[in-house]
Structure 1
Amino acid sequence: MQPSDVLRAMSLSALAYRDIQPACLSGTLLEINDPKTDIQCFLRKMERTLTITFRGSDSHQDWKTNFAFQKKKIPYGNTASKIRVHTGFIDAYKSPAVRDTIHDIMSDEICQVKICGHSQGAALAILCGVDLEYNFPDRDYEVMLFGAPRVGNNAFRKSYNKRVFKTLRIENGNDIVTKIPFI
């Protein structure tokens, strides 16, 4: 990851809170706005690169998602797995309006995927990164997180780190969000 990539991810994460995305950004833009979960996600496709940006908490529904932090098995592979994730985040990400739309856009021509988000958006970016790497392993993934809460238990962290090598997590040391939930 280059410094310019990080600055772009920071800008996109901030822009995700705007109701209207600027036309000056290059590439084809697809907006996901799931009324059921109130998750917003912006997909920008430029040549062979897909950039996925998740918006953070911005509504009452988002806070309901944030506080649904019971542990839940992650839905991949081994059913005897010890991997557990935040129920609210995984349920929001797995919403058909979100996950299925992202999977549908993952054409063979895409060779690089950059995923970013702030706060709740960073949590969704983590889940998206591991999901896409699991289902589309032949791509180059970069995940950039700003103020990300904890998404899963230690078993999830280990599994994520084995799959998604290029992850940058930026946090303010005094930000309580990056230390919760305590799972």
Structure 2
Amino acid sequence: MASRFAASNPSFVPRSARPCRSHAAASTTIAAASPAAAAAAAGTSHAVAVAVPDVGVIRRAPAAASRPPLAGVWRDIQGADDWADLVAPLDSLLREEIVRYGELVAACYRAFDLDPASKRYLNCKYGKRSLLREVGMAGAGYEITKYVYATPDIAIPTQTGTCCSRWIGYVAVSDETTTRRLGRRDILVSFRGTVTNTEWIANFMSSLSPARLDPHDPRPHVKVESGFLSLYTSDDSSSKFSSGSCREQLLSEVTRLIGEHKDEGLSVTLAGHSMGSSLGMLFGYDLAELGLNRDGAGRAVPVTVFSFGGPRVGNAGFKERCEELGVKVLRVVNVNDPVTKLPGVFFNEGFRELAEKYELPWRSSCYAHVGVELALDLFKMQNPVHVHDMETYMGLLKRPNVEQVKKKKTTTTKERINEGADIASMARRFLIEQSFEAWRWQDAAMQVGNLVQSLGI
């Protein structure tokens, strides 16, 4: 890793040769627990726990000249080596890219029309050419080429009838200036998370179904959460804004862009929050499973998912297949966010080890997180809405520096049950004591309802 950085930038100084960081030293650092300790807590060999106190210690960012240019190391930033040596401590260049993609996800929320009286209710407020400008991101460096719609199983009454399909995000491609800076042409799909109640209901059906996305090799052992699969594959023929399922829209547009830029260096980046990160992971798997991420020379185009507050999407078979296909996933997680523990509060990576040991029949039905985890301890959970809020994630990630480490220990099944009950209890108390604007209160209520249902409390 360091050798590649050095090759692209002679001024690069290996970590081992750098001076110790202090309050006076200029660097963006998140001091982390050892990977082994964090992995034990998360049930994955890639997890890294990072604690973020309420008040971080702010330090100056390093001078740009002290770092290699992004164009020379973009493959590492996109996870070619599973972000080895970049997460603990968090590399400043990687943090900037996480924030940049997070802002492109936050744009989806700012542009989503939640006014029931509007003709564009549940759709984007703006046209493709003006969206980024309207939300204050005129210089983002991407051209939006297509809007993407998803279809839950439940319709919502509107002033023009009922609607199932709703705007979920957009496909974009980097412009010439940004392409030169990034070192490749970046095809981006940005997904918002759950906002409406029906989306929450559709999200956590909490049953695993075979994905079967490749008709030539259905791989029945690769299973994903049925609610996410339904959102990804369902079609609303009555929608005047969309044509085809979310899956069909994405495959059509992204493969078109890959073909259009097949003779350039390319990357496919899927960035999403909450439900959106799940759709991103499903699409990344689908694209790679079908072998559609190929450039003009037949080489695999890197597929990377930046997940913010994402839940588990599938079982261990899904996780293993994503790894085989080279789909890279960086999960940015607030450890106090209950959504990141769903589905599979109990039947997850940790329980699967026990099930395999005793050859229990449901061991293939255990959920598993995919990829590398950047676990942030943002604050004590008091508000079940804000711990999962995208703006909360972004606010903390934008801090120039944070410190203090909370080492996590391996938890037993009984401790996980108690932890889940504690989260549900705190959420219930909060809802009784507080009041929200109408849609925010409903959002919070649905989060708590799904959590309680999943816990069986």
Same fold (TM > 0.5): yes
Trace 1:52-67 onto structure 2 (pairs within 5 A). 52-67=189-204
**Contact persistence 1:130–1:164 (CA under 8 A):** no
In 1, Cα distance between equivalents of 2:340 and 2:172: 27
Which of 98, 104, 107 is matched with 1:15 structurally?
Answer: 107
Instruction: Name the amino acid aligned to 1:160.
Output: C
Check if 1:5 corresponds to 2:142: no
Cα distance in 2, alignment partners of residues 124 and 50 from structure 1:
16
Distance 1:151 1:37, change over 3 A: farther
Alignment partners' CA distance in 1, 2:167 and 2:226: 15
Shift, 1:148, TM fit:
0.7
Q: How big is the shift at 1:57?
A: 0.3
Identify the range of structure 1 (122-131 vs 23-32) with the bigger mean alpha-carbon deviation: 23-32
Is 1:82–2:224 an aligned residue pair?
Answer: no
The answer to whether 1:153 aligns with 2:315 is yes
- Whether 1:118 aligns to 2:233 is no
Partner in structure 1 of residue 142 of structure 2: 27
TM-score, normalised via structure 2 length: 0.38
Q: Which runs of 5+ in 1 are unaligned?
A: none
- 1:113-171 per-residue CA deviation (whole Å, 9 max, x = no partner) reads 11010111111111011111122132121110011101111111111122234321110
Which of 173, 188, 207 pairs up with 1:70? 207
| 8 Å Cα contact 1:56/1:117 also seen in 2 | yes
- The answer to which structure has the higher helix fraction is 2
The answer as to 2:167 corresponding to 1:43 is no
Q: For the structure 1 residues 156 and 10, does the alpha-carbon distance in structure 2 shift closer, same or farther, using more than 3 Å as the test?
A: same
How far, CA to CA, are the matches of 1:143 and 1:113 in structure 2?
Answer: 9
CA-atom RMSD in angstroms: 1.9
CA contact (8 A) 2:285 2:327 kept: no
Q: Deviation of residue 39 (structure 1)? A: 5.0
Partner secondary structure for residue 18 of structure 1: helix
Q: How far does residue 86 in structure 1 lie from its aligned partner after superposition?
A: 0.6
Q: Is the 8 A contact 2:212 2:220 kept in 1?
A: no
Question: Aligned equivalents of 1:61 and 1:120: distance in 2?
Answer: 12
- Of Structure 1 and Structure 2, which has the larger fraction of its residues in strand? 1
TM-score, length basis structure 1: 0.89
**Which residue of structure 2 aligns with residue 127 of structure 1?**
282
Tell me which amino acid in the other structure corresponds to 1:134. Answer: E
Q: Distance in 2 between matches of 1:137 and 1:103?
A: 10
Query: In structure 2, the residue corresponding to 1:45 is in which secondary structure?
Result: strand
Q: Post-superposition shift, 1:38?
A: 3.0
Residues 81/10 of structure 1: CA separation in 2 closer, same or farther (3 Å cut): same
Structure 2 CA distance for aligned equivalents of residues 31 and 72 of structure 1: 27
Look up the SS of the partner of 1:75 in the other structure: coil
Separation in 2 of the partners of 1:165 and 1:129?
A: 7
Is the partner of 2:334 in helix, strand or coil? coil
1:69-103 deviations in Å (ceiling 9; x for gaps):
22111113444531211111011112333111111
**In 2, distance between residues paired with 1:83 and 1:121?**
20
35-44 or 56-65, which deviates more = 35-44
Does residue 162 in structure 1 map to residue 324 in structure 2?
yes
- Report if the CA contact (8 A) 1:56-1:120 is conserved: yes
**Whole-Å Cα distance in 1 between the matches of residues 283 and 189 of structure 2?**
9
